[in-house]
Amino acid sequence: MVSLRLDVTGEEDESVSAELRGVKLFVKRGRKEFTDGNYGHIKILTQNERTRLLFRRDPLGKVSMNVALRPAVRCHYDAGENILRVVLMEQIVVEGKEAKDEVVIYALKPGRASKADFKVFAQTLCANDRLKAASS
Protein backbone atom coordinates (compact mmCIF):
# COMPACT_ATOMS: atom_id res chain seq x y z
CA MET A 1 0.00 0.00 0.00
CA VAL A 2 1.32 3.40 -0.99
CA SER A 3 0.34 6.41 1.10
CA LEU A 4 0.52 9.88 -0.33
CA ARG A 5 1.55 12.80 1.82
CA LEU A 6 -0.63 15.82 1.21
CA ASP A 7 0.74 19.15 2.38
CA VAL A 8 -1.70 21.04 4.55
CA THR A 9 -1.27 24.82 4.44
CA GLY A 10 -4.30 26.03 6.39
CA GLU A 11 -5.67 27.63 3.23
CA GLU A 12 -7.73 24.63 2.09
CA ASP A 13 -11.13 26.01 3.17
CA GLU A 14 -10.44 29.62 2.15
CA SER A 15 -11.26 31.34 -1.11
CA VAL A 16 -8.70 33.53 -2.86
CA SER A 17 -10.03 37.04 -3.60
CA ALA A 18 -6.77 38.23 -5.18
CA GLU A 19 -3.20 36.98 -5.45
CA LEU A 20 0.10 37.94 -6.99
CA ARG A 21 3.44 36.15 -7.39
CA GLY A 22 6.87 37.76 -7.47
CA VAL A 23 6.10 40.50 -4.93
CA LYS A 24 8.90 41.79 -2.70
CA LEU A 25 8.19 42.24 1.04
CA PHE A 26 10.08 44.47 3.49
CA VAL A 27 9.24 44.45 7.23
CA LYS A 28 9.88 47.07 9.93
CA ARG A 29 9.12 46.20 13.56
CA GLY A 30 9.21 48.97 16.15
CA ARG A 31 12.42 50.98 16.05
CA LYS A 32 14.34 48.47 13.93
CA GLU A 33 15.25 49.18 10.32
CA PHE A 34 13.42 47.57 7.40
CA THR A 35 14.53 44.01 6.63
CA ASP A 36 16.10 43.09 3.32
CA GLY A 37 13.32 42.27 0.92
CA ASN A 38 12.06 38.74 0.29
CA TYR A 39 10.31 37.62 -2.88
CA GLY A 40 7.10 35.67 -2.59
CA HIS A 41 3.42 35.11 -3.24
CA ILE A 42 0.75 37.29 -1.64
CA LYS A 43 -2.95 36.40 -1.32
CA ILE A 44 -6.14 37.86 0.08
CA LEU A 45 -7.96 34.87 1.61
CA THR A 46 -11.54 34.71 2.88
CA GLN A 47 -13.34 32.12 4.98
CA ASN A 48 -16.80 32.87 6.37
CA GLU A 49 -16.53 36.28 8.06
CA ARG A 50 -12.71 36.24 8.24
CA THR A 51 -10.38 37.80 5.66
CA ARG A 52 -6.61 37.80 5.87
CA LEU A 53 -3.55 38.88 3.93
CA LEU A 54 -0.96 36.10 3.59
CA PHE A 55 2.58 36.33 2.20
CA ARG A 56 4.66 33.19 1.61
CA ARG A 57 8.35 33.48 0.71
CA ASP A 58 9.77 31.83 -2.40
CA PRO A 59 10.79 29.07 -2.92
CA LEU A 60 9.86 27.20 0.29
CA GLY A 61 6.56 28.88 1.08
CA LYS A 62 7.44 30.02 4.61
CA VAL A 63 4.88 32.50 5.99
CA SER A 64 6.36 35.99 6.45
CA MET A 65 3.10 37.90 6.89
CA ASN A 66 -0.31 36.75 8.08
CA VAL A 67 -2.56 39.73 8.85
CA ALA A 68 -6.26 39.58 9.70
CA LEU A 69 -7.99 42.42 7.86
CA ARG A 70 -9.90 44.64 10.30
CA PRO A 71 -10.46 48.38 10.81
CA ALA A 72 -7.32 48.71 13.01
CA VAL A 73 -5.14 47.70 10.03
CA ARG A 74 -4.13 50.56 7.75
CA CYS A 75 -3.42 49.88 4.08
CA HIS A 76 -2.11 52.58 1.79
CA TYR A 77 -1.04 52.33 -1.84
CA ASP A 78 1.42 55.00 -2.99
CA ALA A 79 1.06 55.04 -6.79
CA GLY A 80 4.03 57.40 -7.25
CA GLU A 81 6.46 55.07 -5.48
CA ASN A 82 4.47 51.92 -6.37
CA ILE A 83 4.53 50.75 -2.74
CA LEU A 84 1.76 49.13 -0.72
CA ARG A 85 2.09 49.72 3.02
CA VAL A 86 0.23 47.66 5.63
CA VAL A 87 0.53 49.15 9.14
CA LEU A 88 -0.73 47.57 12.36
CA MET A 89 0.04 46.85 15.99
CA GLU A 90 1.34 43.37 16.85
CA GLN A 91 2.04 41.87 20.25
CA ILE A 92 5.71 41.06 20.67
CA VAL A 93 7.17 38.91 23.46
CA VAL A 94 10.84 39.66 24.12
CA GLU A 95 12.94 37.09 26.02
CA GLY A 96 10.03 35.67 28.00
CA LYS A 97 8.97 39.08 29.30
CA GLU A 98 5.46 40.49 29.18
CA ALA A 99 4.00 41.01 25.71
CA LYS A 100 4.01 44.56 24.41
CA ASP A 101 2.36 46.17 21.42
CA GLU A 102 4.66 47.31 18.65
CA VAL A 103 3.99 49.07 15.36
CA VAL A 104 4.78 46.85 12.38
CA ILE A 105 5.02 48.13 8.82
CA TYR A 106 4.86 45.70 5.92
CA ALA A 107 5.99 47.40 2.70
CA LEU A 108 5.36 45.58 -0.56
CA LYS A 109 6.80 46.36 -3.99
CA PRO A 110 6.13 44.74 -7.36
CA GLY A 111 9.47 42.91 -7.45
CA ARG A 112 9.18 40.48 -10.38
CA ALA A 113 5.43 41.07 -10.77
CA SER A 114 4.22 43.58 -13.34
CA LYS A 115 3.57 47.08 -12.04
CA ALA A 116 0.07 47.04 -13.50
CA ASP A 117 -0.84 43.76 -11.77
CA PHE A 118 0.66 45.04 -8.52
CA LYS A 119 -1.43 48.21 -8.74
CA VAL A 120 -4.64 46.20 -9.26
CA PHE A 121 -3.79 43.95 -6.28
CA ALA A 122 -3.00 46.96 -4.05
CA GLN A 123 -6.21 48.76 -5.00
CA THR A 124 -8.23 45.57 -4.40
CA LEU A 125 -6.72 45.23 -0.92
CA CYS A 126 -7.21 48.89 0.02
CA ALA A 127 -10.89 48.72 -1.03
CA ASN A 128 -11.58 45.64 1.12
CA ASP A 129 -14.68 46.11 3.33
CA ARG A 130 -12.95 44.46 6.33
CA LEU A 131 -10.62 47.47 6.61
CA LYS A 132 -13.50 49.88 7.10
CA ALA A 133 -15.12 50.55 10.47
CA ALA A 134 -18.69 49.32 10.82
CA SER A 135 -21.23 52.11 10.41
CA SER A 136 -23.33 52.95 13.44
In the prediction, which pLDDT does 136 show? 45
CATH number of 15-130: 2.30.29.30
Residue-wise pLDDT tens for the chain (136 aa)? 555 545 566 677 789 999 999 999 999 998 899 999 999 999 999 998 899 999 999 998 999 999 999 999 999 999 999 999 999 998 877 777 778 889 999 999 999 999 999 999 999 999 999 998 765 4
Name the residue type at position 126. Answer: C
Query: What's the CA gap between 107 and 24, in Å, rounded?
Result: 8
Closest CA to 54 of 38, 37, 69: 69
Exposed/middle/buried for 42, CB within 10 Å: 0-12, 13-18, 19+?
buried
Query: What's the CA gap between 19 and 56, in Å, rounded?
Result: 11
Q: How far, in Å, are 6, 8, 49, 74, 107 from residue 3 at the CA level?
A: 9, 15, 35, 45, 41
Query: What's the whole-model pTM score?
Result: 0.86
Q: Where are the domains of the chain?
A: 15-130
Exposed/middle/buried for 25, CB within 10 Å: 0-12, 13-18, 19+?
buried
| CB distance 41 to 54 below 8 Å | no
